[in-house]
Amino acid sequence: MPTTSHKDDAVYEVYEEINGLLNQDKASHTIIMGDFNAKVGSQRAGEQVDGKFGIGERNDRGDKFLDFAVNKGFRIMNTFFKKKPSRQWTWRSPIGTTKNEIDLILSDKQHIVTGVSVLNKFNTGSA
């Protein structure tokens, strides 16, 4: 997903592309995951698309992401599972002071996802 340095039109184009893919074929379960560059933050009163375990503060892109999820009938699965702090964030600022959860998983069937955890560092064995 385009970063916040890009215009909103670029973000809307990606959502439209995802919409087009969703309209092509129907599967019994749909999962969408990726780097959405959106901070959904903590659940707000009355919201059902996200759970109570989101982290940080929501930003404008987070609002757009929640709108997309609501309109398409998805749940933001990262926010439904309590995790250790080291298993919540998916992006760290270059100086390491800011940590955000911007890689998100959507599902149209909440019951098929039994957990979400983050591997924010792993060794692939390559140099």
* Cα–Cα distance, 49 to 122 (Å, whole number): 30
Render pLDDT for 44-54 as a digit per residue (tens, 0 to 9). 999 999 999 99
What domains can be seen in the chain, in order of their start residue? 8-112 (3.60.10.10)
Whole-model pTM? Answer: 0.82
CA torsion angle 82 83 84 88 (round to 10): -120
pLDDT of residue 120: 64
Q: Retrieve residue 1's tokens.
A: 């997903």
* Cα–Cα distance, 96 to 80 (Å, whole number): 26
51 near 43, Cβ under 8 Å?
yes
Render pLDDT for 82-115 as a digit per residue (tens, 0 to 9). 988 888 888 888 998 888 888 999 999 999 999 9
Name the amino acid, one letter, at 38. A
Bridge partners (DSSP) of residue 91 are 100
**pLDDT mean over 69-78:** 94
Render pLDDT for 26-39 as a digit per residue (tens, 0 to 9). 778 999 999 999 99
> Using 50, 70 and 90 to split pLDDT, how confident is the model at 127?
low
